[in-house]
Every structure is written in structure tokens, then in C-alpha cells.
Structure 1
Amino acid sequence: MLKPLACALAVLAGAATAQERPVVATVNYPLAWMADRLGGDAIEVLFPVPDGRDPSFWRPGLSDIAAIQQADLIALNGAGFATWTTRASLPRSRLVDTSAKLSAAFIATQSVSHSHGEDGAHSHTGTASYTWLDFELAAGQAEALAAAMQRRMPDLRNRVEERLPSLLADLAALDTQARDALATLQGTTIIATHPRYQYFARAYGLDIAALEWEAGALPDEAQWQDLQDMVAETGASLLIWEAEPPQEAKERAAGMGLASIVFAPLATRPASGDFASVMRAQIEALATRP
């Protein structure tokens, strides 16, 4: 049995070991998941966006920025995601834009201004930013992250090299599942409550028309009218919600002849499961819609 002094020393040693682990800071959950898959318990993954906030437009406080600045590697999504990163003073030598080499595949968007709760007013303009919803692009981001981790954390070079194939295999499996399972939806129009799915639609041959609704909120009458008009124009019978809506919202959509499917783009951490398991389940639900 350890004596009190020995116990204290053991605790301090454990804390020092934890603090010595290199830190990878990420701007969204998919990158946090990738970093964890690549580094495991040999690294600390910092994803400071609070639950319920949109990482696309979240504005970090001074303490958040200070913690991110101290990270050994700061993983950016690129494609205009997390615009605060263009204004904050972040060490260039520790930044990796994981989609920089994928810019030829970026999708241009129109400018639409609206608000997201605490994150304030913003515009979807310039470039669609949810690149990881094309799982081939996500694999490219994983490879860029792995290369940056090996460069910045040479002691983990072999570990990252050993773990990368498993991560890429999981993303390839999602890509294959989506291509096969969603083939029956090609040629029909789907309506989404928010413009998050451009890369997903292009990669898997889907026609997705987007509204501008607040995630998880009850739409107002003007928004319901927009949906009704879109249904009349497109003949859509399937409505994708970015987050779980109130039950009365799903019931009203059903009254318009729309089946409701929640397909979270996973910019933020899911309540349970991980990126791969939640995506597998969502693709299956979309493929077997009512």
C-alpha cells in the first residue's frame, strides 16, 4: 500500500504526464474525432465550442483563444468555416488548413443573411463549408491532419502512421454506404431546413433544396409558408432537419405530406456515439425513410 507521500507523488506524476501530452485544437467535431482517432490517448484534443452552439459562427472568448494559441497544432476546416480564425492572432507555424489542397472541389454559395441564436446574424456567402459531408473530401482532410500531426509531433509519427489506415477505411465505408444506400433517392427533390448539405448532395447524387430555419426551433408562420411553397414547386416528400425539432413541427410537416428525417451534419459533438457510428445510422435512416 502506498504511503501518503508516495500517493501524492504518483498523482503529481500522472498530472504532469497528462499536461505533457501534445494538444491538438480543432474548430469542429469532425476534426476533433479525426485527431482523436489518429493520436488516441497520446494527445489531448481541444474542441472548446460549448454544447448547443454552432461551431461555424461561434465566437471564442479571450480565454478560449489563449488556450487555442497554446496548442501544439491548430486544425482548421478551411472553406470559410469558423471565420473567427481569420481575425484572431494564431501562430501560423502551428496552423493546418485541412482542406487547402481540396479547394478545386469547393462549392460556391449565394449570400443569405440570417441569425443563429447566441451566435448572431451572419451570411452564408462565398463557399459552402461543410466539406466533410463528402466522405472522400473528409478522407483528404484526415490525411492533411495526419501529415501535420507527424510534422509537429515527431514522437507520434509512427503512431499516426499506424492509425491513419483505420480512419481512412471508416470514411471509405461511409462513402460506399452513402453511394449504395441513397441511390434510390436520386432524381427526387429533398428539402433541408438549412443549407448544410451541398457537398453531401453533390457526392451522392441528391437534389437538396434548402430553407433557412433555426436548428431545433419551431418555425414561424412565414417559414411554414416558405416550406409549403417549396413543396408545391418541387413535389418533395422528404424533409431533412438539421437537429431534432419539436414534435408539433414534425406533425405539421407530416400534414403537408412530408416525412421527417433528422440528419445532423455533426459540426458539433453528438450526444452519444461518434462521427462514424452516427453517420452510419443517419444514412440508413435516410435510405429507409417512411
Structure 2
Amino acid sequence: MIRALAALAVLSGPAFAQDRPVIVADSYPVAFFAGALAGDAAEVRLAVPEGRDPSSWRPGLSEIVAIQAADLIVLNGSGLSDWTTRAALPRSRTVDTGRGVADDLIATDTITHSHGQEGSHSHEGVATHTWLDLDLAARQAEALAAAMGRALPDAPVAANLDALLADLDALDATGDALVEGAPVPVIASHPRYEYLGRAYGLDIAALDWTAGVAPDAAQLAALEAARAETGARIFIWEAEPPEAARAAVAALGLAQAVIPPLATPPAEGDFLSAFRDGLAELAAALNSLG
């Protein structure tokens, strides 16, 4: 079992002191993988400030300088952090873990919406949350391990990779067992779950609700219309909703599950435990349908 990362530091200032090699990651999943692979041999840092979405965050000059100084820069790729296509990152010390899964990316429609401080932006081109298919996540971890093996020759990366892959494979098997037969229609509160749906037998229609905020009457009406159109009986929240919101969705006859998209660190636990909890909630929702 992979131990949880003790803490993920966030970059601040133009540079950082380092007693160990520093790995900077553009998003939480690859940061978690890097920490699991490195163990105590490196310090893993998230480029994205706490509470910010990596798909819409843009680093300032001092943050870019700090990122450039890292011993290894780890990207999810797949269009998640578009600032990485414009910043001058050192090629020899940058690993794009998404390159190996490029043939399995999912094309998406354009959806424009807002994320608080970042303002409006669009989801278009391809779906970015590749790690929600744990088979793709494992392939990204393998690509990262290859780069880390070169950057950290004294670290037990190969052994740690075996342990990480075993954990991911066990969770993947749990997901595979959720649905037998035709995909189950589901509605999600946000367009983040394309890979989860494809991997684990869910036909997901997405709304565009803000995480943690109760839906208004118009949004509930849109949900009711989507339920009627799709035949969905399950609703996925990306974060724990207010109790009134849960009650309103339940009144529409929908079972509910909270599945964090995990682009940022979960409120509790780590990538593996949060994913496991999400699958457990989904299993309970599916079982409640009879």
C-alpha cells in the first residue's frame, strides 16, 4: 500500500531552498505519483496555489522562475495546464506524462464557464482528467517512473512503481466490477468525468454547477430535464453539496455520489483513498437502484 504524501508544498517566491532534489508538478495526481515513486528521495511541490484549479491557473513570472529551477518538472499533459505550452520549460528536466496516452484521449464539446478568481474559460478539444481512468493513470505513472529513474538514480523508483501500480490496479478492478452490461446513464454536476465514464460503464451527461454551491431553481429545472431525457437515476457531485441541495436532487428521484475529480488535493486522505471512497459511493448509488 502506498503511503500518503505527508504534505505537498506550494511554490512561493522566485526560488526555494532545497536539501533534496525538488520535483514540481502541475496538478495533484502527478504530484501524488511522484511522491509515491520518490519516497524520501525528493521533495514534491505543487505549482498550483492551494484552492486553485490547474486547468485555469496562470503562473506569474516569479512562479515560472521557481518552476524552471526544479530538478524535474512533471506535467499531466493532455491540455490540462495550457500555460505549459507558453512557458520556457527546460526540455531535459520536463516530463509530459500524457504523451503516452495521447491515442486514448476523449474529444469534447466546447463548454465555457467560470472558476472564481480565474474568470471564464472553456473546456474544449480533449478531456483533461485522464487519471480518472486508472488504466491511463497507471500508464502515466510508468512514464513518470522512467523519467524519475534517470533523474534520481539512487531512489527506489522501480520498487515503488510496483507498489503504486498494484494499488492502482486494485482500484481499477473495483471500478471495472461496478457495471455489467450496457453503460448506466448518469448525470454529473460538472464536465470532468469523461474518462471515469468510459472506463467504468457510465454514460455521463454533464451540467455546469459550481462545486459546493446549492443549485438554483433554473439549475434544478435543467437537471430534471436532463433526467427525463437521459433516463439517469444517479447524480455525481464533484464536492460535498449543502444538505438542501442533496434533498432537492433526491426529490427528483436521483441517487447521489460524491466523486472528487482530484485535479487538486482532496479535503481528506490522498489520491488512492479519495478515489476509493468515490467508487464506494458510486457502488452504493448503483446498488440502491435495485
Scaled by the length of structure 1, the TM-score of the pair is 0.89
- 5+ residue gaps, structure 1, are 1-17
- Residue of 231, 235, 240 corresponding to 2:231: 235
Q: CA deviation at 1:141?
A: 0.3
Q: Which residue of 2 aligns with 1:195?
A: 191
Q: Distance in 1 between matches of 2:210 and 2:47?
A: 22
Q: CA deviation at 1:235?
A: 2.0
Q: Distance in 2 between matches of 1:235 and 1:48?
A: 41
Alignment of 1:264 with 2:264, yes or no, is no
Q: Which residue of 2 aligns with 1:23?
A: 22
Alignment of 1:72 with 2:71, yes or no, is yes
User: Which residue identity lines up with residue 232 of structure 1 in the other structure?
Assistant: A
Q: Closer, same or farther in 2 for the Cα pair 1:185/1:208, shift >3 Å?
A: farther
Q: CA deviation at 1:270?
A: 1.2
Query: 1:134-175, CA deviations, whole angstroms, 9 ceiling, x for partnerless residues?
Result: 11100000001011111223333xx11121100011111111
User: Which residue identity lines up with residue 198 of structure 1 in the other structure?
Assistant: E
When the two chains are superposed, the root-mean-square deviation of aligned CA atoms in Å is 1.5
Alignment of 1:95 with 2:94, yes or no, is yes
Alignment of 1:117-266 (within 5 A): 117-156=116-155, 159-180=156-177, 182-183=178-179, 186-266=182-262
Q: Closer, same or farther in 2 for the Cα pair 1:201/1:246, shift >3 Å?
A: same
User: Which residue identity lines up with residue 107 of structure 1 in the other structure?
Assistant: I
Q: Distance in 2 between matches of 1:178 and 1:185?
A: 14
Alignment of 1:55 with 2:54, yes or no, is yes
Q: CA deviation at 1:106?
A: 0.6
Query: 1:204-259, CA deviations, whole angstroms, 9 ceiling, x for partnerless residues?
Result: 12111111111222223332221111011112121101111222111111111122
User: Which residue identity lines up with residue 242 of structure 2 in the other structure?
Assistant: P
User: Which residue identity lines up with residue 152 of structure 1 in the other structure?
Assistant: A
Query: 1:108-131, CA deviations, whole angstroms, 9 ceiling, x for partnerless residues?
Result: 011111111112111110010100
Q: Distance in 2 between matches of 1:73 and 1:118?
A: 28
Q: CA deviation at 1:67?
A: 1.6
Q: Which residue of 2 aligns with 1:10?
A: none
Structure 1, 219-228 or 33-42: larger mean CA deviation: 219-228
User: Which residue identity lines up with residue 85 of structure 1 in the other structure?
Assistant: T
Q: CA deviation at 1:92?
A: 1.6
Q: Distance in 1 between matches of 2:77 and 2:47?
A: 18
Q: Secondary structure at the match of 1:155?
A: coil
Structure 1, 43-52 or 214-223: larger mean CA deviation: 214-223
Q: Closer, same or farther in 2 for the Cα pair 1:83/1:185, shift >3 Å?
A: farther
Q: CA deviation at 1:49?
A: 2.1
* Bigger Rg, which one: 1
Q: Secondary structure at the match of 1:114?
A: strand
- 5+ residue gaps, structure 2, are 1-16
Between Structure 1 and Structure 2, the one with more helix by share is: 1
Could you list the runs of 4 or more consecutive aligned residues of structure 1 that deviate by over 3 angstroms after TM superposition? 184-187
Paired residues, what number?
A: 270
